[in-house]
Structure 1
Amino acid sequence: MIGWYVHHHGWGHLTRMQAIRPHLDDEVTVFSSLPAPADLGDDTTWIRLPADADPVPTADGALCPAHELGDVTAGGALHWAPIGHPGHQRRLATIADWIARHPVAAFVVDVSVEVTAFVRLLGVPTVVFAQPGERSDRPHRLGHALADRIVAPWPEGLFDAAELSDQHERVRHVGAISRHDGRTRRPADDAARRALFLSRTLDASRLAETIDLLTARGWVVDTAGARDDDRVDDVWPLLCRANVVISAAGLNGVADIATAGARAVVLPQDRPFGEQEHTARVLQAAGLASTAPAGSSPAKVVELVERAAATVPADWSRWGATGAAARAAHAIQEVTS
């Protein structure tokens, strides 16, 4: 049996689990603050964890912000461990109770240094996912040091991940993991120029202005996850028919673009540890996508879209998306076998 912690920020950690899950024969129990997806599948159990960052009532009836509950970083050794937070305590107790009652072969953590350390202290082998960016701080070094396997969801050689250099024997570079790997690409059946805004890239006003400018130039524009009301369950058809995809630099979105072999304009968003800026620099240096700051003007974004449309699609095979989910599953099974 495998445990799996899915971080609740965004949807990328969940979709990564869903891409890998079909390649695992073991039963899997997922722990997350996210609600369970509708298409969880057989032999997969979802345990919803309480939130660990909401305000806590005090004795006088006021609400104390979680980040004010003592030294939440334990002197810089951890990222998040608020003192006396009921939700934080219950979520770890839930994981401990489950481990005590089940024969757990491995626990996958995507991502949390605290869960990694906690599970390993309970005597369970751990598999952690690496992330791009500057990850040489004490908590990240601790999490990497405790892991039995470190899955790097990018191809070996393109990313500069110095913090993994002394963990070589335990690191598995599996390539970009996409839930669409193996699907047939079906281009649009008309001659329209189509642009797809994939994920949050521009604020609402600049997004609307950019769409208006593209439409005035004859583009048909789709959006998926770019606004509050446009989440798409299956984005694959939109990816396939788009001449250009405008995306943030999250690993899952880029992996989906690579699987579709699409032309891309990437606008990295501000994330902890410079994660997306790092990925965007790698994409630009490899000649796989045009990039620009997230604060770029609508006119600049339109210029990049037009320029990308006039180019030959990049050779995304360098991103290693084909077979990446199966390779990640194999890395997990190295620990369970």
Structure 2
Amino acid sequence: MGLTGWYIHHHGAGHLTRFRAVRPHLPGEVVVFSSLPRPGTLPAGTTWVRLDRDDDGDPAGADPTVGGLLHWAPLGHAGHARRFAAITGALAERRFDRFVVDVSVEVALLVRLLGVATVVVTQPGDRSDTPHRLAYASASRVLAPWPAGVHGLPAQPALVEVGGISRFDGRTREVGATPGTVLVLGGGVTERDLAAAAAATPDARWQLAGSSARTWIEDPWDALQSAEVVVAAAGQNSVADIAAAGARAVVVPQPRPFDEQVATGRILTGRGLAVVRPAWPGPDEWPALLDQARSLRPDWSQWGVTGAARRAAEAIAQVGA
């Protein structure tokens, strides 16, 4: 199997969550590179290399996009230099058979320039800009964590669409939905908005599984199963988790670069999988929205969650084998 490198972007928790879902299916040793702190526990055979941050300070005048050629390579930033030096040093010291990049155009190009085959994880939205096209063209494999044909990408030999990758893939549904329960997944929702929505729907019981210490749920599988309606953003992990639970959902895409979540929201609407709204609804909208979501009969099997993490691991292991 050899040695696999894996770059995890530090924005949010989704990239780390995806790694955790795929890693149990990937044999061999894995070295992770990330600006995120090392998690408390790691799978056997996994090493964590903590990288310096390169997004602090004022980038004005640092030409971070190199005139549009790249996404982020600021001039004169010591942290940026040290993170690339750490990756370069590791690849010079040991022979890596493949390197997963989730996500960074610059890391993908660096690793390929150092002679290591890359697996670039792609994201939804419009990725037709020069940096993305360069990263994809240089990759041995482009891994898409959604079902085949969903985002209408041009067919190419390197592209592998594995289905939505969920941490709950393989779990069985043990309880049914409890009438009147609403689960809100993720952060980005203010307590004021949540209180207003709850006040407008007195027959519903709202629960927030958020990112703060007060609302954090380490394993929300039971909450997902028992919720009559799930409210979430259109991030890839959230949608895959909802699909794994077969839940009815109201999805509110959040602003992201390249219209990532907006693109996913359009697909969910087109396939009748969720009720989608462009922004957090006003209090008066919630009674009708919850009724709409309750009336859904979503066929989440089309999201391809079952076996997606295993298929991703297989696609990765084939590179450099």
Asked if 1 retains the 8 angstrom alpha-carbon contact of 2:31 and 2:47, the reply is: yes
Asked if 1:299 corresponds to 2:284, the answer is yes
The equivalent of 1:266 in structure 2 is 251
Letter in 1 for 2:99: F
Q: For residues 171-250 of structure 1, what are the structure 2 equivalents within 5 Å?
A: 171-188=159-176, 191-200=178-187, 202-214=189-201, 216-217=202-203, 219-225=204-210, 229-250=214-235
Asked if 1:154 corresponds to 2:146, the answer is yes
Letter in 1 for 2:17: T
Distance 2:146 2:108 in 1: 21
Asked if 1 retains the 8 angstrom alpha-carbon contact of 2:208 and 2:215, the reply is: yes
Distance 1:314 1:248 in 2: 17
Asked if 2 retains the 8 angstrom alpha-carbon contact of 1:188 and 1:240, the reply is: yes
Distance 2:52 2:304 in 1: 36
The alpha carbon displacement at 1:103 in A equals 1.7
Unaligned residue ranges in structure 2 (runs of 5+): none
Instruction: Say if 1:120 and 1:126 are closer, same or farther in 2 by CA, change over 3 A.
Output: same
% same residue: 50
Residue by residue over 1:24-43, the C-alpha shift from the partner in whole angstroms, topping out at 9 and shown as x without a partner, is 11101111111122231211
Asked if 2 retains the 8 angstrom alpha-carbon contact of 1:195 and 1:221, the reply is: yes
Letter in 2 for 1:291: V
Aligned to 1:172, what secondary structure does the other structure show?
Answer: strand
The equivalent of 2:35 in structure 1 is 33
Runs of 4+ in 1 over 3 A off after TM superposition: 201-204, 226-229
Q: In the comparison of the two structures, how many residue pairs are matched?
A: 319
The alpha carbon displacement at 1:230 in A equals 1.6
The equivalent of 1:70 in structure 2 is 62
Asked if 2 retains the 8 angstrom alpha-carbon contact of 1:4 and 1:109, the reply is: yes
Asked if 1 retains the 8 angstrom alpha-carbon contact of 2:274 and 2:296, the reply is: no
Residue by residue over 1:187-211, the C-alpha shift from the partner in whole angstroms, topping out at 9 and shown as x without a partner, is 258x542110011353332122113
Letter in 2 for 1:2: T
Asked if 1:131 corresponds to 2:133, the answer is no
The alpha carbon displacement at 1:226 in A equals 6.1
Distance 1:24 1:69 in 2: 42
Q: For residues 23-172 of structure 1, what are the structure 2 equivalents within 5 Å?
A: 23-55=25-57, 65=58, 67-161=59-153, 165=154, 168-172=156-160
Asked if 1:317 corresponds to 2:309, the answer is no
Deviates more, 1:38-47 or 1:88-97: 38-47
Distance 2:226 2:249 in 1: 13
The alpha carbon displacement at 1:294 in A equals 1.8
Asked if 1 retains the 8 angstrom alpha-carbon contact of 2:166 and 2:240, the reply is: yes
State TM-score, norm by structure 2: 0.95
Distance 2:212 2:277 in 1: 20
Deviates more, 1:226-235 or 1:139-148: 226-235
Letter in 1 for 2:162: V
The alpha carbon displacement at 1:72 in A equals 0.9
Residue by residue over 1:147-178, the C-alpha shift from the partner in whole angstroms, topping out at 9 and shown as x without a partner, is 100001111122133xxx16x11100100000
Letter in 2 for 1:111: V
Distance 1:179 1:89 in 2: 34
Letter in 2 for 1:319: W
Distance 2:188 2:249 in 1: 13
Unaligned residue ranges in structure 1 (runs of 5+): 56-64
State TM-score, norm by structure 1: 0.91
Instruction: Say if 1:12 and 1:302 are closer, same or farther in 2 by CA, change over 3 A.
Output: farther
Aligned to 1:243, what secondary structure does the other structure show?
Answer: strand
Distance 1:176 1:2 in 2: 22
Distance 2:54 2:96 in 1: 24
Instruction: Say if 1:250 and 1:159 are closer, same or farther in 2 by CA, change over 3 A.
Output: same
Asked if 1:334 corresponds to 2:313, the answer is no
Distance 2:179 2:250 in 1: 19
> RMSD value over aligned CA atoms?
1.5
